Amino acid sequence: MDIQTELTPLIHILRKTSRVTVLTGAGISAESGIPTFRGEEGLWKTYRAEELATLAAFIRNPKLVWEWYDWRRGIIGSKEYNAGHEVLSRWEKLFPTFHVITQNIDGLHQKAGSRNILELHGNIWKLRCTKEETVIEDHSTPLNEFPPHCLDCGALLRPHVVWFGESLDASILQSAFALSSSCEVMFVVGTSAVVQPAASLPIAAANAGATVVEVNPDPTPLTPYVDYSFRGKAGEILPVIDGKLSFSNPDEEK
Ligand code: BV8
């Protein structure tokens, strides 16, 4: 079924919707030229992301882990947000209640103008003191010092991100589940829906009766549970949905 036909019932629903939540993953930044995690370009040197994004790897070899994050900061710092990010920042003004929950640490949603953002896994431009837990923002690429140290106490700084085996910030996770189980429509864009607890958010939305819409070139473990699954790239599909939406004034329907 072509997207236009598939879209019509969804546009109808969206016209009557006031509460929308979006969960994004690495796929929404792929068209900006940022490697995804599980795509074939998700490798750095010979390491898989799950090997380096752990506290154990950092304790074992902080310099190596910082080289990896510096490499990613270099890539991310040179890239721009794409049409997918843009549509979501525009929808923040279109829908009365609209939030983006992202697994991405690249900060591109904010760069595209989104403000209602929950960063589940942290932000690559923030560094945290391993002793005082203070967080600073640093956009220097490359980093001035390998590994970087806290200017106050001299302790090692670590990326302010959530590593595998580490718990997410409890208040952020609680807000994420609240926004997922209180929305009328949840979009799930560019995620392989494998990493927990993020992958449980769309299930919470579906269980709460929301219409769940997946956008991904490939099917995922989530596909059997969603109401709409559009096969395609975020930077192409979201503008098409937006195009259909903006030709209709939502207030008309109320
Ligand atoms: C935790 C920050 C308490 C760091 C990240 C239950 C069952 C099994 C395992 C677990 C479980 N509970 C916990 C775990 C362990 C683990 C986990 O889920 N492991 C997975 C591998 C099975 N979870 C954790 O450790 C979490 N902590 O639970 O703490 C605890 C601990 C231990 C045990 C119990 C409880 C912490 C998880 C967070 C880790 N940090 N990132 C960094 O970035 O360096 S996760 C990181 O990987 C990303 O943030 C993201 O979340 C994930 C990658 O997933 P995606 O973003 O979806 O990217 P991916 O490449 O996989 O897929 C891209 C998709 O896009 C594809 O589908 C592709 O088709 C699509 N695509 C491509 N191009 C486009 C596109 N889509 C649209 N448009 C395009 N153009």
Using a 6 Å cutoff on CB, does residue 234 contact ligand 1? Answer: yes
* Cα-to-centroid distance, 2 and ligand 1 (Å): 30
pLDDT at 251: 54
Decide if 183 contacts 205 (C-beta within 8 A): yes
* Cα-to-centroid distance, 27 and ligand 1 (Å): 12
Using a 6 Å cutoff on CB, does residue 7 contact ligand 1? Answer: no
- What is the DSSP secondary-structure string of 201-221? HHHHHHHTT-EEEEE-SS--T
Q: Which atom of ligand 1 is nearest to the CA of 122?
A: 2
Q: Which atom of ligand 1 is nearest to the CA of 121?
A: 2
Using a 6 Å cutoff on CB, does residue 66 contact ligand 1? Answer: no
Spatial CA neighbour of 142 closest among 45, 213, 67: 67
pLDDT at 1: 56
* CA angle (246 as vertex; 245, 247 as ends), nearest 5: 90
pLDDT at 3: 74
> Tokens in use for 220?
């995922």
Q: pLDDT (tens digit, 9 = 90+) per residue, 172-200?
A: 999 999 999 999 999 999 999 999 999 99
Using a 6 Å cutoff on CB, does residue 194 contact ligand 1? Answer: yes
Low-confidence ranges of the chain (pLDDT < 70): 1-2, 38-46, 247-254
Which residues belong to the active site? 121
Taking every pair of C-alpha atoms in the chain, what is the biggest distance, in angstroms?
A: 60
* Cα-to-centroid distance, 60 and ligand 1 (Å): 22
This prediction's pTM: 0.95
Helix (H) or strand (E) holding 53: none
Cα(117)–Cα(249) distance, rounded to whole angstroms?
25
